[in-house]
Structure 1
Amino acid sequence: MRENDDRLDKPQEEIIAEKQGNSYILTGVGGTIGEIHFRMIDVDTWVIDRTYVQAEYRGQGLAKQLLDLVVDEARERGRRIIPSCSYALEQFKQDAAYADVWDNKAAGDYADPYSSHSIGATRP
């Protein structure tokens, strides 16, 4: 570890996750820094349609923490999840730990590249 590393001088910012309706919101010193939204499409199924973390907070695992909050709640309530936003879909594809809640019975991918603020979403 370098003694002149700038990260050593900066205090760790406290980030708080709160549930607000069908969302989980991450709040830091300056306000909202990230969020994940889901909606119910039937009594047993949720769609994750938006995941967003401000650019300066990316790479810290915050989006995955948000996703895990939704997945944990879905497990507790016996719900299945359709990952519509590109970030959630990619995580579901990469991590077998989500298989128990993934409603992937329809063919093809669910990602909507036009979802507003989806992490990794590209717009034409």
Structure 2
Amino acid sequence: MDEQREPQFTVEENAIRLLGDDGKAIAEVTFPACGEGVVDIDHTFVDPSLRGLGMAGKLMDACAHELERTGRRARPTCSYAVRWFEKHPEWERILA
């Protein structure tokens, strides 16, 4: 992936993915519903070929924007998501 170009994520109701040429996810964050208007950010994955490019952070940023856009709140349980929210207090407003 070209480091200068922003990734083209596929946004689904409960996941955001970056798909490879074969259509399989090479990076993703999943956030299934766990209550009325609340999702559990339970999984982040980045293929080793993309590590070191800040891809997990870009996924979480896209996730935060999507949850805010759709009026949902987050309950992060994935260890990466928990740390991301600790480092980004500006997104505290979407935490459940």
CA RMSD of aligned residues (A): 2.0
1:66 matched to 2:59: yes
Mapped to 2, the partners of 1:32 and 1:46 lie a distance apart of 21
Mapped to 2, the partners of 1:61 and 1:12 lie a distance apart of 13
**1:21 Cα offset (Å):** 4.0
Mapped to 2, the partners of 1:43 and 1:89 lie a distance apart of 21
Mapped to 1, the partners of 2:66 and 2:72 lie a distance apart of 8
Q: 1:32 to 1:44 in 2, by over 3 A?
A: closer
**1:50 Cα offset (Å):** 0.4
Higher relative contact order (CA 8 A, sep 6+): 2
1:17 matched to 2:9: yes
Mapped to 2, the partners of 1:20 and 1:78 lie a distance apart of 15
SS of the residue aligned with 1:99? helix
Q: Percent identity?
A: 29
Mapped to 2, the partners of 1:50 and 1:36 lie a distance apart of 6
Mapped to 2, the partners of 1:98 and 1:17 lie a distance apart of 20
Aligned residues: 93
2:27 is matched with 34
**8 Å contact 1:16–1:28 — kept in the other structure?**
no
> Higher mean Cα deviation, 14-23 or 46-55?
14-23
Q: TM-score, normalised by structure 2?
A: 0.82
Please give the residue correspondences for 1:1-124 in structure 2 after superposition, counting only pairs within 5 Å. 12=2, 15-29=7-21, 31-103=24-96
Structure 1 residue runs of 5 or longer lacking an equivalent are: 1-10, 104-124
**1:45 Cα offset (Å):** 0.8
Which protein is richer in helix relative to its size?
Answer: 2
Q: TM-score, normalised by structure 1?
A: 0.66
Mapped to 2, the partners of 1:41 and 1:12 lie a distance apart of 36
**Which aligned segments of 4 or more residues in structure 1 are displaced greater than 4 angstroms?**
none
